[in-house]
Structure 1
Amino acid sequence: MHTLAQLRAGQLSGITRLDLACGLTEFPREIFELADSLEILNLSGNQLDTLPDDLYRLPHLRVLFCSDNRFTELPECLGRCSALTMVGFKANQIEHVTSAALPPLLRWLILTDNRISHLPDELGRRPHLQKLMLAGNRLRALPQSLAQCHRLELLRVSANQLAELPSWLLELPSLSWLAYAGNPLEIEADDEALHVAMPIDWSQLSLQRSVGEGASGVIHQALWQPPGRAARDVAVKLYKGQMTSDGSPLHEMHACITAGKHPNLIEVLGQVNGHPEQQAGLVMALIGPDYRNLAGLPSLASCTRDVYADELRLEAEVALRIARGIASVMAHLHRQGITHGDLYGHNILYNDHGDCLLGDFGAASFHAPVDDRQTRALQRIEVRAFGILLGELLARIDPALGIEDLARVQDLEARCCQPNVLARPGFDEIEDLLHDRDERACPRRAL
């Protein structure tokens, strides 16, 4: 984090990224002295409500973050920034977005947790739009012009007031990650599922160290001492209870419980009861230290694509075991009427044998568990996400598969990613295809 004193003293000359969070109420004009180099400007966590009309004087500005400020409208000066591709105004008080505020090269727009009830048709006339995050607003409809956004891959519209998902949305050829929980359109899950999760009294839990933190909550390693039974090590996830980029953490908890048991899911042992601050939480099985994340989160540059370690190489058997495990758990979720919404390598834990666990239900949504056109489309949107994951696994196989086997799996990848949404295979078929391939390639080891 930089300081205003450094900026005013001319100590930041030549930097490409500036981060300022120091209670700003006005845009520091000294930022224009960085015009020759500045590409990323982060002014989140201040008290700004306007930006200068001449922001275009930063000709290299590609990324602008202004989250957690006091904006009531998306500044129209953004539309005159010719190089700007990513705009983030999460957790403001924005009610108005005009067409003039949309940069021509817009690729990634974050307007999560605001008060927006209407978006301009001009949004659909941004051909580079790839990632659109609108959870936690007041939208009753989406601009029909978004049907033209054939590059749109990730859409978050959870916790709005949408009464339906338009048919054109479910036909977008590149859409792979969709979250829509907490809207009137969503099929409600059976509340009885919540009662299946055993209540675990807070007094039985002894929190130890934090083992992870995400947008929705913090995970702790803990000791659970059930009455009259031996103590056991567990993981406790305490939810923050605030809107995330995916949606409501409480929707995530609901989906985790409703998902039930599967070998490729982290087991839910119970629901926290009696937290002193009434914080919601889940008690889950503790994952062994031999498990690790398959990938890292997408970067500013990759946008919708995970970042993998350069050195990551997988044996063919391990990669295909991961693929089959994920196909199996996705088929299970779809049978429960759940879309995961965030099927990514960074949400997969795996070990050296290819055992894997799918986590993070923050973008999960419920749909009718029936075989109709909308349900098939929702499920096959996720099939494209699986196809992308399958391609990422194939790219890291060492040594390579035999030519025949490689061609079969590459053909499956292509079928999963084809632009015709309803022509993609379902996860039951995908699982069968991978099972057949694995048995032929690895007859001595059941996968």
Structure 2
Amino acid sequence: MLAGLSTLAQLNAGALQGCTRLDLSCGLTEFPREIFALADSLKILNLSGNQLASLPDDLPRLRHLEVIFCSENRFTELPAILGQCPSLTMIGFKSNQIKHVADEVFPSHLRWLILTDNQLTELPSSIGRCQQLEKLMLAGNRLAALPDALAQCQQLALVRVAANQLTAFPECLLQLPRLAWLAIGGNPFNAALERNQMDDVASVNASDVTLGQKLGEGASGTIYQAQWHHSVPRDAAIKIFKGAVTSDGWPQTEMAVCRAAGEHPHLIGALAQLNGHAAGAGLIMPLISPEFSVLAAPPSLKTCIADVYASDLRFTWRAALLLAHGIADAARHLHQRGILHGDLYAHNILHHSDGRTYLGDFGAASFYSPDAAWAKALERIEVRAFGALLAELLTRIDWPDDHDDLRFDLMHWQKKCVDLAGDTQISFANLQQGLWRILHNH
């Protein structure tokens, strides 16, 4: 992947003919017309990190363009010309100053829309025409409500509306039969619950920790190995947040939820909040043994909502069932405390080949009142995410020839989790108990 001034020079010299992806981040103030020389091949255009405020009216000449990124620029409105691009399926305009989205801006094949960290106060009802939309990321805006027409986006599986100005839970979300991953924290309607938990967050000064090697990186932050110079020095992991708002919401929401989650054998909780570090705000967590590895990589541009597994990853039936049971029990624990994880995905799970497992990353998590009218619906949404995980595990199990009944039992639970009719009342308590019975009956 090429970037910067050298790439622009190559483009001007005609040396990039036939390329399918172009990355240009070099202080551009105008859209380079030379890009149109790639009209016969270009599929992914990344113009993030420039100073652009507009796109050309003839952008649809890039007829094969499927993905456009224009994050960290100077756009104040989402360019309406995007709606005329015939092949466009993904739009990413994170961290601009966008205040307005025109009715005609959405292309007919849109699957993934990223408008995180802008200044939107409303989303047009025309979003309802996006029948193929699967992923909608709107965290860090000023939305006071969502349009009822959003309920028409029946393929929507992931929604991020944390860190906005929502005064009530958007009930249109409850009409989305495939919704499985939802971030709603840091809004006025659940702010009181969040404030009550912030008082319990312990703080540690930067001088009390020493950062070590980088362990991993996600949407909201980077995780390092560290030494915590506590009363008894100990190894720890520290998550340093990337900014004041992430693709999932406010860091302070994650800190509060992580602490409120408490201890559980299958959760990576938090030990304390890190203050005053030069790298940014952080969260101190237990250090997990290197014997554990991430279950899968996050979704790609191609898969959109599905995690990417190593092609050679296989499980024994017992290891897969132990893993599934552990995650179901962790989720049961969270929902009993009024916590929606919001991102129950394989890429947030650490696992061992023998089935031991941990669920981590509370970046998309939020509090909810168990007494709310929509409380059971939130758990139902998360159960659907667990059903997607269970389906992924089922395809990677090496089944013994004489275990057809076991396979049938697991498939039965998986189908109940993702039942699109939505008429089952399955909970994580049901799942935990059901999977435990299967383990002990085989």
User: How high is the TM-score relative to the length of structure 1?
Assistant: 0.94
Q: Is 1:384 matched with 2:384?
A: yes
Q: Is 1:104 matched with 2:112?
A: no
1:154-233 maps to which residues of 2 (within 5 A)? 154-186=158-190, 188-189=192-193, 191=195, 193-227=197-231, 229=232, 231-233=233-235
Q: Is 1:245 matched with 2:269?
A: no
Q: Is 1:40 matched with 2:44?
A: yes
Q: Do the aligned partners of residues 150 and 16 (structure 1) sit closer, same or farther apart at CA in structure 2, a change above 3 Å counting?
A: same
Alpha-carbon distance in structure 1 between the residues aligned to 2:122 and 2:283 = 36
Q: Could you tell me the percent identity over the aligned residues? A: 53
8 A contact 2:201–2:256 mirrored in 1: no
Alpha-carbon distance in structure 2 between the residues aligned to 1:132 and 1:224 = 38
Deviation at 1:219, TM superposition (A): 1.9
Q: Which position in structure 1 is the counterpart of 2:309?
A: 308
8 A contact 2:294–2:351 mirrored in 1: yes
Alpha-carbon distance in structure 2 between the residues aligned to 1:425 and 1:270 = 34
Q: Is 1:85 matched with 2:89?
A: yes
1:19-418 maps to which residues of 2 (within 5 A)? 19-186=23-190, 188-189=192-193, 191=195, 193-227=197-231, 229=232, 231-273=233-275, 275=276, 277=278, 279-370=280-371, 373-400=373-400, 402-418=403-419
1:15 corresponds, among 15, 19, 37, to 19
8 A contact 2:258–2:269 mirrored in 1: no
8 A contact 1:188–1:366 mirrored in 2: no
8 A contact 2:92–2:113 mirrored in 1: yes
1:110-153 per-residue CA deviation (whole Å, 9 max, x = no partner) reads: 01111111111111111101111011111111111111111010
Between 183-192 and 83-92, report the one with greater CA deviation: 183-192
Alpha-carbon distance in structure 2 between the residues aligned to 1:404 and 1:214 = 39
Deviation at 1:279, TM superposition (A): 4.1
Alpha-carbon distance in structure 1 between the residues aligned to 2:54 and 2:184 = 31
Deviation at 1:99, TM superposition (A): 1.5
Deviation at 1:337, TM superposition (A): 0.6
Deviation at 1:19, TM superposition (A): 0.6
Q: Do the aligned partners of residues 80 and 234 (structure 1) sit closer, same or farther apart at CA in structure 2, a change above 3 Å counting?
A: same
8 A contact 1:197–1:268 mirrored in 2: no
8 A contact 1:240–1:279 mirrored in 2: yes
State the secondary structure of the residue aligned to 2:397: coil
8 A contact 1:418–1:424 mirrored in 2: no
1:286-307 per-residue CA deviation (whole Å, 9 max, x = no partner) reads: 1111100101110111000001
Alpha-carbon distance in structure 2 between the residues aligned to 1:86 and 1:7 = 23
* RMSD of aligned Cα (Å): 1.7
1:136-189 per-residue CA deviation (whole Å, 9 max, x = no partner) reads: 111111111111111010000011111122333113100001111111122633
Letter in 1 for 2:427: G
8 A contact 1:415–1:424 mirrored in 2: no
Deviation at 1:373, TM superposition (A): 3.8
Deviation at 1:35, TM superposition (A): 0.5
Aligned residue-pair number: 437
Alpha-carbon distance in structure 1 between the residues aligned to 2:330 and 2:209 = 29
Letter in 2 for 1:418: D
8 A contact 2:322–2:355 mirrored in 1: yes
Alpha-carbon distance in structure 1 between the residues aligned to 2:61 and 2:12 = 18
User: How high is the TM-score relative to the length of structure 2?
Assistant: 0.95
Deviation at 1:214, TM superposition (A): 2.4
Structure 2 unmatched ranges of 5 or more: none
Deviation at 1:191, TM superposition (A): 4.9
Deviation at 1:193, TM superposition (A): 4.3
8 A contact 1:417–1:424 mirrored in 2: no
Alpha-carbon distance in structure 2 between the residues aligned to 1:278 and 1:92 = 23
1:255-312 per-residue CA deviation (whole Å, 9 max, x = no partner) reads: 1111110001124222335x25594322221111110010111011100000111111
Deviation at 1:210, TM superposition (A): 2.1
8 A contact 1:293–1:349 mirrored in 2: yes
8 A contact 2:194–2:256 mirrored in 1: no
Q: Which position in structure 2 is the counterpart of 1:444?
A: none
8 A contact 1:133–1:157 mirrored in 2: yes
Alpha-carbon distance in structure 2 between the residues aligned to 1:379 and 1:112 = 25
8 A contact 2:338–2:367 mirrored in 1: yes
Alpha-carbon distance in structure 2 between the residues aligned to 1:17 and 1:278 = 32
Alpha-carbon distance in structure 2 between the residues aligned to 1:60 and 1:322 = 42
8 A contact 1:339–1:365 mirrored in 2: yes
8 A contact 1:49–1:72 mirrored in 2: yes
Alpha-carbon distance in structure 2 between the residues aligned to 1:205 and 1:35 = 52
Q: Which position in structure 2 is the counterpart of 1:445?
A: none
State the secondary structure of the residue aligned to 2:118: coil
8 A contact 1:47–1:70 mirrored in 2: yes
Alpha-carbon distance in structure 2 between the residues aligned to 1:331 and 1:136 = 28
8 A contact 2:186–2:194 mirrored in 1: no
8 A contact 1:17–1:40 mirrored in 2: yes
8 A contact 2:351–2:358 mirrored in 1: yes
8 A contact 1:416–1:424 mirrored in 2: no
Alpha-carbon distance in structure 1 between the residues aligned to 2:417 and 2:172 = 19
Alpha-carbon distance in structure 1 between the residues aligned to 2:405 and 2:183 = 37
